[in-house]
Amino acid sequence: MQFDDNAAPKDGIKTISRRDVLKVLGAGIIAPGIMGCTSRPPVTLTYRDELPPELYNASVRALAAAIRSGDVSSVEVVQAFLDRIETVNAKINAVVALAGDEALDAARDADARLSRGEVTGPLHGVPMTIKDSLDTAGIVTTYGTKGRRTFVPPKDATVVARLKSAGAILMGKTNTPEFTLSYETGNKLFGVTNNPYDLTRTPGGSSGGASAILAAGGSPFDIGSDYGGSIRLPAHCTGIAGIKPTSGRVPRTGHGFPFGGLLDAFQQLGPMARHATDLSLLLPILAGPDAVDPYIVPMPLKDPATVKPQDLRVSFHTDNGIQTPTPAISQVVTTAAAVLSDIGARVDEARPTGIESSYDVMMTAWNRCDPPLIKKLLRAAGTSQEESTLQWAFEAPAATDEEIVDAFTRMALCRSQMLSFMESYDVILCPVNALPAMHHGSEDGQDLRPFSYTMTYNLTGWPGAVVRGGTSPEGLPIGVQIVARPWREDIVLAVAQLLESELGGFQAPDL
């Protein structure tokens, strides 16, 4: 549906109108790429592979293409990122283990192979960092817990092995809260990671070390894990792009918070980079069964390039009925909806049925089901209760069988209501969080309602991506969350790429 100047609410649903767009334009937050309300030709999504003067500002696609063509060597690329890590890491404390010599050796080998006409894969010679919750052979992997302070895994996590097989080169590990269980990034081993846009604030959690070093230019990509928003929140806080795939898409083998457990479906691994186009390059490398994680489904990935955004049915909401976001965040989401409406997509202002209960459902499930698993993980790591930051797991009362059954019944009902809503829509646009990046320590003693916007889609298991859509009055990035039906990462990534193009996307911090 095109813009309707007379659009009005009907059964709680409002089709976005031309008048709504003009209000957004008047708010001064819309990006320069949106010049008005006139309709435009059908959208064709394209990739740009230009190599910028500073190699550390390049996209993954640009680096891979330049290395393969011989315009730049892998050694030059790896050295540029290692130099950048040396420049910025003292300020942000994002990289907690460095393998610089090993990375340069691997880069020399990649260049030698290329000179013989051998290309390892689509990431031949491209460097990466990896979140410290993922096992890396030969490099210390702590999971952010004291009991593993010197532990060196004998083999790589599945996703790490797949990236190396595709030609990527590991430079180092990025900080994570203990066993990834916090919306801020810090632990008793390595301390707190800072947001490169404001060092007094968090880059989010739990993939905050990854998001901080990506935003600061110290790595082209990383792999995050998401149990309640741990890819999407850091992307929002630091202005980068990230995707939580559908539950069952990417193996968790070798991840600190393992597959299995009562809430297995909540946890997914996914790529993080500065540009949405890089996510669509990386996700196919990571996806698919590994014959170890028993919950991974052999579902084919569809190509985002085949999606026609102008044909999509879009729902957007700026308030989930749990926590109202800041006005700037609401305006950014409305702007994103206007972009899709402007190209011809049908855009309704409507939020999923049952979403208001999702926060309470998630919190009940975590409090009932997680404490026994967390205590087991700490024992296996050799971390004592006194050494752990996860005291709430020891303080929570033991759940009864009836309470656990009730939690699962409520989860199923909420999922069912949400899924029924999606019969009418292909994609949802909404905030990532009710707030921009918080000051350090803001999570302590506070409820988690601002984080409910990401929690909901761990509960459903649907794919969700984040790209930067605007800037807060404090000068902090604001992300837009894009969610689709199960297994439709192609739609999520196509919309993410379109919004990134129209709203400006990543903007480097002044660090």
Q: What does residue 169 show for φ and ψ, rounded to 5 degrees? A: -120, 125
Looking up tokens 């083999």 gives 155
For residue 110, is it within any domain? yes
Paired tokens of 62: 């640009």
Query: What DSSP state is assigned to residue 118?
Result: -
In the chain, what is the straight-line distance between the N-terminal and C-terminal CA atoms, in Å?
44
Paired tokens of 475: 């000068």
Report how many domains make up the chain. Answer: 1
The answer to whether the predicted template modeling score (pTM) of the entire model surpasses 0.85 is yes
pLDDT digits over 66-93, tens only? Answer: 999 999 999 999 999 999 999 999 999 9
User: What is the spatial distance between Cα 139 and Cα 460, in angstroms, rounded to a whole number?
Assistant: 35
Expressed as residue numbers, the domain containing 253 is 14-503
What b/e readout covers 253-265, taking b as 16+ CB neighbours within 10 angstroms?
bbbbbbbebbbeb
> Residue type for 130, please?
I
From 59, 133, 182, 230, the catalytic residue: 230
Name 211's Cβ contacts closer than 8 Å, sequence gap at least 6: 203, 204, 222, 224, 234, 235, 237, 238, 240, 242, 272
User: What is the spatial distance between Cα 275 and Cα 297, in angstroms, rounded to a whole number?
Assistant: 27
For residue 152, is it within any domain? yes
> Residue type for 476, please?
L
Q: What is the pLDDT of residue 14?
A: 66
Q: What is the pLDDT of residue 443?
A: 86
| 230 is known as an active-site residue | yes
Q: What is the pLDDT of residue 5?
A: 40
From 131, 146, 164, 244, the catalytic residue: 131
User: CB atoms < 10 A from the CB of 161, how many?
Assistant: 18
Name 248's Cβ contacts closer than 8 Å, sequence gap at least 6: 265, 295, 296, 297, 299, 461
Q: What does residue 128 show for φ and ψ, rounded to 5 degrees? A: -155, 160
Q: What does residue 191 show for φ and ψ, rounded to 5 degrees? A: 85, -160
- What's 108's domain CATH number? 3.90.1300.10
User: What is the spatial distance between Cα 351 and Cα 348, in angstroms, rounded to a whole number?
Assistant: 9
pLDDT digits over 322-347, tens only? Answer: 999 999 999 999 999 999 999 999 99
**How many C-alpha atoms does 338 have within 13 Å on its Cβ side?**
27
**How many C-alpha atoms does 13 have within 13 Å on its Cβ side?**
13
pLDDT digits over 497-509, tens only? Answer: 999 999 999 999 9
Query: What DSSP state is assigned to residue 44?
Result: -
For residue 8, is it within any domain? no
Paired tokens of 411: 């989860």
For residue 7, is it within any domain? no
For residue 510, is it within any domain? no
Spatial CA neighbour of 457 closest among 498, 422, 415: 415
Q: Cα angle vertex 394, ends 393, 398, to 5°?
A: 85
What b/e readout covers 422-443, taking b as 16+ CB neighbours within 10 angstroms?
beebbbbbbbbbbbbbbebeeb
pLDDT digits over 398-420, tens only? Answer: 999 999 999 999 999 999 999 99
User: What is the spatial distance between Cα 414 and Cα 355, in angstroms, rounded to a whole number?
Assistant: 7
Query: Would you write out the chain's pLDDT as a tens digit for each of its 511 residues?
Result: 333 443 434 445 666 554 454 454 444 343 333 333 344 556 666 666 789 999 999 999 999 999 999 999 999 999 999 999 999 999 999 999 999 999 999 999 999 999 999 999 999 999 999 999 999 999 999 999 999 999 999 999 999 999 999 999 999 999 999 999 999 999 999 999 999 999 999 999 999 999 999 999 999 999 999 999 999 999 999 999 999 999 999 999 999 999 999 999 999 999 999 999 999 999 999 999 999 999 999 999 999 999 999 999 999 999 999 999 999 999 999 999 999 999 999 999 999 999 999 999 999 999 999 999 999 999 999 999 999 999 999 999 999 999 999 999 999 999 999 999 999 999 999 999 999 999 999 987 678 999 999 999 999 999 999 999 999 999 999 999 999 999 999 999 999 999 999 999 999 999 9
Paired tokens of 303: 């190509």
| 131 is known as an active-site residue | yes
Per-residue HEC secondary structure of 209-231 comes to HHHHHHHCCCCCEEEEEECCCCC
Looking up tokens 């993080």 gives 272
Sign of the CA dihedral running 165, 167, 171, 176: negative
Q: What is the pLDDT of residue 28?
A: 39
Name 35's Cβ contacts closer than 8 Å, sequence gap at least 6: none
Q: What is the pLDDT of residue 49?
A: 73
For residue 433, is it within any domain? yes
Spatial CA neighbour of 453 closest among 271, 321, 334: 321
For residue 511, is it within any domain? no
User: What is the spatial distance between Cα 497 and Cα 47, in angstroms, rounded to a whole number?
Assistant: 9
Q: What is the pLDDT of residue 444?
A: 78
For residue 160, is it within any domain? yes
| 206 is known as an active-site residue | yes
From 206, 207, 225, 357, the catalytic residue: 206
